[in-house]
Structure formats: C-alpha cells, structure tokens
Amino acid sequence: YSFGIFQMSPQSTNRLESITYNNYENQPNYERLLMWQSASNMFIDHPIFGVGYGNYYTNYISEYRSPLAREYQRHPHNTFLEKLSEAGILGGISYLLLILYFIFNSVKTFIKNKNPINLSYLACILAYSIGCLTDCLYSSYNLKELTYIFYLFTGIYLILNSYIKQEHQYE
C-alpha cells in the first residue's frame, strides 16, 4: 500500500522523474553534482588521509566550493565521498569493507541457516547503503539519528544471530 500511495503522490513522482535531470534549473540534483565534484577534488588533493575528520565544511567553503553552487552544504550528500574526502583512501576503504562485511555476513548466514532475520538485515543494509549514495547518514549534521537507528538494527541483528546460532547448536 505504501508503494502505491508513493506512486500516486504528485510530489513523489515529480521528484522521482527529476532524478536524472542535472541542469542548473533543477537545483537539488545540480547542487549534489557540484558537492560530489568538490568532495572528489578534496580526495584527489588529499588522497591518503583526506582533509581530516569533520573538516569537510571548512575546506569546502575555503577552497572547494564551486562558483556555480548556490548553497553552503555541510556534507557532500554521499557517505562514501564524505569518507574519502575527510579520511582519504584509508577511511574510504575501511567504510567500504565494513559495509561489504555486513552484506557478505548476512548473505552467508542466510544461506547457512535460512533464517528470515538474516534476510531482513540484508534488506536493511542494502537500503541503508542506497541511502548513503545520496546523503551522509554518518554525518553529525541533523542526520545522526539515522545512523543510531542503523546501529541499533545492527546490534539487534548480531544479538539475534548469536542467539540463533546457539539455539541451533543445542538441537
């Protein structure tokens, strides 16, 4: 039902249709592209360690903000690019490995145990990862609650996964 309501909402369909538009008139998408370009340039200039954790905004304002940008964003609206720009290749690879480990572990455990909890967590991690492509969910700027929810789900999953393994061992 939620999907049907989403599809029938004019605001939702207009926003969905505008995703591929990257012209200057479509400001949200255009701004994202400019922020991604700025974050990429920060990474290129500081590839190993980045500009420092929490320093994206300072560097963005001082030297990486595009003259075409209309907004002053505190993060690049892409978690992976945020990690690359702030922590360099070390932070970017660490973040990527963490997400890949969560995905691999939930798939492996689901294949082994055929438990829907593993499949549910896989759906959660995939949805979270898709969200990270268009926003900075690890950012401390009004988005940290989503990160807390993600880690709450991860903790519950790990606890339930541990319990399920122990339960199967005793049978």
Average pLDDT over the chain reads: 78
Comparing 37 with 32, the larger pLDDT belongs to 37
**pLDDT confidence of 170, banded at 50, 70, 90?**
very low
Q: How many helices (H) and strands (E) would you count in the chain?
A: 7, 0
pLDDT for position 22: 58
Q: Which value, in Å, is the radius of gyration of the alpha carbons in the chain?
A: 19
Distance CA 116, CA 114 (A): 7
Residue 5 has pLDDT above 70, yes or no: no
For 106, left (φ over 0), alpha (ψ -120 to 50), or beta?
alpha
Position 134 confidence tier, pLDDT thresholds 50, 70, 90: confident
What whole-number distance in Å separates Cα of residue 21 and Cα of residue 18?
Answer: 5
Count the Cβ atoms, other than its own, within 10 Å of residue 155: 10
Q: What's the rounded Cα separation, in Å, for the pair 171 and 168?
A: 5
Considering only residues 19 and 133, tell me which one the structure prediction assigns the higher pLDDT. Answer: 133
Rounded to an integer, the average pLDDT of 144-159 is 80
Cβ-based neighbours of 53, under 8 Å, separated by 6 or more: 86, 87, 91
Structure-token pair, residue 84: 């690359």
Give the pTM. Answer: 0.70
